[in-house]
């Protein structure tokens, strides 16, 4: 690897580390919830997994409660189909809370309160 490429890699890594640190720092200090957002967030992980739930960044690690997981399958024609399932219903019976590694969170977003997904999640938690 040339010296120039090594410098580029180091700079990119430093920018990524700063971005993760800044994001975690902002969330730990209570970043405001956008208008029109539900209590639920979608969390996209670097391994491709997608989780939904109530996201809390105030502790040492982000925590997702009332957690759901996005499942993908294919129908007979080979077309992708998506479904959500409660995380606690996994075959290994976990508790209904996920502690996330902040470095594994690719990005996250709040779900709009009027969306079908938010209504489904809210109805199931009652």
Q: Tell me the pLDDT of the chain (126 aa) as tens digits.
A: 688 777 887 767 666 666 666 665 555 445 566 777 889 999 999 999 999 999 998 888 999 999 999 998 888 888 888 999 999 998 888 988 999 999 999 999 999 998 999 999 999 876
CB within 8 A of 99, min separation 6: which ones? 61, 62, 63
76 CB-side CA count, 13 A? 0
Comparing CA positions, the residue from 107, 110, 74, 68 lying closest to residue 90 is 68
Q: Whole-structure pTM over 0.95, yes or no?
A: no
Q: Are 25 and 90 in contact (CB under 8 A)?
A: no
- Quick check: helix, strand or coil at residue 39? strand
């Amino acid at each position: 690897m040339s010296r120039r490429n090594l410098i580029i890699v180091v700079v990119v890594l430093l920018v990524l580390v700063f971005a993760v640190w800044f994001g975690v720092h902002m969330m730990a200090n209570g970043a405001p919830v956008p208008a029109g957002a539900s209590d639920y967030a979608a969390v996209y992980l670097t391994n491709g997994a997608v989780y939904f739930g109530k996201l809390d960044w105030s502790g040492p690690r982000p925590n997702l409660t009332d957690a759901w997981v996005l499942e993908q399958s294919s129908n007979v024609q080979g077309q992708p189909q998506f479904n959500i399932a409660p995380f606690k219903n996994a075959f290994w019976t976990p508790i209904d809370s996920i502690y996330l590694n902040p470095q594994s969170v690719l990005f996250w977003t709040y779900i709009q309160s009027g969306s079908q997904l938010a209504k489904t999640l809210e109805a199931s938690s009652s």
